[in-house]
Structure 1
């Protein structure tokens, strides 16, 4: 018979300094209150701790563990599964270049290669999730290649702190990162006004400091063109029947 072991029994002693998170305890508890089961609050709480340090540190894992009464192993399993949680300090801005099939064919690979070389400080191209400048400091940039960013009609695309910059070229991408390094914040093609990585992590946790944080166009002309053509030409999809009979399955 397998013996049940409580989470508290398998946790290692806390050696991390958690005082860096003293200012977000109330917000952490507000996140927990949104859910009938406290463990469901883990994803937004990880964004919350990332908004403090710019990544999810071991201290951040222990903070979530204590707030949600989970083991450190349970929290770590989630942190290491999702790429949106960074395990080392991120730059002021996270630049994600789509290198999935369509964007890659349209120039995404060339954009990623160009940015890696352009941001290099020692002659060696910047690697995936590597940072130029001091992480978290103004002008610092972390570059990553990303899987599909769901903007194939506008490829090649990249994101800065998860905001879209569509129809990019190597040249426009270089202009964009240079502007970021100068402290400028060029407007995204779509979406909310650009902020920094820590601020967007706070927004993903569900906290918005300003009403304007979510203002901005959400769809591009290209994306809506099909719906507009259908409306102009009177095209409609067949209505769904009220009841659908499933075909009989062959007996095994």
Structure 2
């Protein structure tokens, strides 16, 4: 094999030990059988090999390719596209701080900055004890609980820098940590196996529900007539109305009018005295 980027010989990826491969082949066969086209099982298989090694290695890529009749390039293209597949060793707990718009405004940026200093790591880096990998994440559709921190994709809502630091300290110390809602917390490898499509055997996981918060449900309650509509408050006081109404004799809204910024303006179509003809060659 040749490393295309360097033009140098590339050693073939090592294989799993025989007993591990046999176990993975049995699991992979179960996953592949769920799909009419075997290559549709690629995403679950990538989670499967990630559950084995903690990230997607060259060995895992080779295994997926062989099981699905794909090239390693095809598997690598998919595994490097999705952020849920790790490309290097990572911690038992993936701590993701939402830094998208609302969480950032509500304090997500401050939480992320303080956790970086507290843990002594940067974005995507892992603590020396191998317990925590810190990263910023995009919106997780939990804006009404902002700012949100996720650990192995379980929700920890309404966080502060202080509560987030206690959270990672508890994780590193091996203390029990309970998500705000949803299923009980487990390690990253265990999470990856669940995402591959195998049963979630955690106590209480089946009964656990996430659910939207009250802020997200206001619109639904309004539609059902279960809540009073909100009071509309003008962002600025309305100007006094003149006898001529809110429009000046020129046909434009006065500068003090709330809609003056989008009032009609004179254009070539509405100002016959100043028509705009075709551009002449001299003007080009």
Q: TM-score, normalised by structure 1?
A: 0.80
Distance in 2 separating the partners of 1:37 and 1:203: 21
Residue of 205, 209, 215 corresponding to 2:207:
215
- Displacement over 6 Å in runs of 4+: none
Distance in 1 separating the partners of 2:59 and 2:143: 38
Q: Does 1:143 align with 2:134?
A: yes
Q: Does 1:43 align with 2:43?
A: yes
Q: Which has the larger radius of gyration?
A: 2
Deviation at 1:14, TM superposition (A): 3.5
For structure 1, which runs of at least 5 residues remain unmatched after alignment?
Answer: 1-11, 121-125, 236-252
Partner of 2:16: 18
Change in Cα spacing, 1:196 to 1:155, as seen in structure 2 (3 Å) is same
Partner of 2:74: 74
Deviation at 1:99, TM superposition (A): 0.6
User: After the TM superposition, which residues 1-252 of structure 1 pair with which residues of structure 2 at under 5 Å, given as runs?
Assistant: 14-19=12-17, 20-120=20-120, 126-135=121-130, 140-208=131-199, 210=201, 212=203, 213-222=205-214, 223-233=216-226
| 8 A Cα contact 2:96 2:137, kept in partner | yes
Deviation at 1:127, TM superposition (A): 1.4
Distance in 2 separating the partners of 1:16 and 1:51: 18
Aligned to 1:233, the other structure's residue is in SS state coil
Question: Could you report, residue by residue, the CA deviation over 1:183-240 in whole angstroms, capped at 9, with x for unpaired residues?
Answer: 12321112111111000000000112516334313114423344345435389xxxxx
Deviation at 1:17, TM superposition (A): 2.5
Deviation at 1:156, TM superposition (A): 0.6
Distance in 1 separating the partners of 2:210 and 2:115: 26
Structure 1 range deviating more: 213-222 or 66-75:
213-222
Richer in helix (by share): 1
Distance in 2 separating the partners of 1:211 and 1:203: 10
Change in Cα spacing, 1:209 to 1:230, as seen in structure 2 (3 Å) is closer
Deviation at 1:98, TM superposition (A): 0.5
Distance in 2 separating the partners of 1:151 and 1:94: 18
| 8 A Cα contact 2:98 2:139, kept in partner | yes
Q: TM-score, normalised by structure 2?
A: 0.71
Aligned to 1:103, the other structure's residue is in SS state helix
CA RMSD of aligned residues (A): 1.9
Distance in 2 separating the partners of 1:224 and 1:233: 11
Distance in 2 separating the partners of 1:145 and 1:128: 7
Distance in 2 separating the partners of 1:225 and 1:38: 44
Count of residues paired in the alignment: 215
Change in Cα spacing, 1:176 to 1:234, as seen in structure 2 (3 Å) is closer
Aligned to 1:43, the other structure's residue is in SS state helix
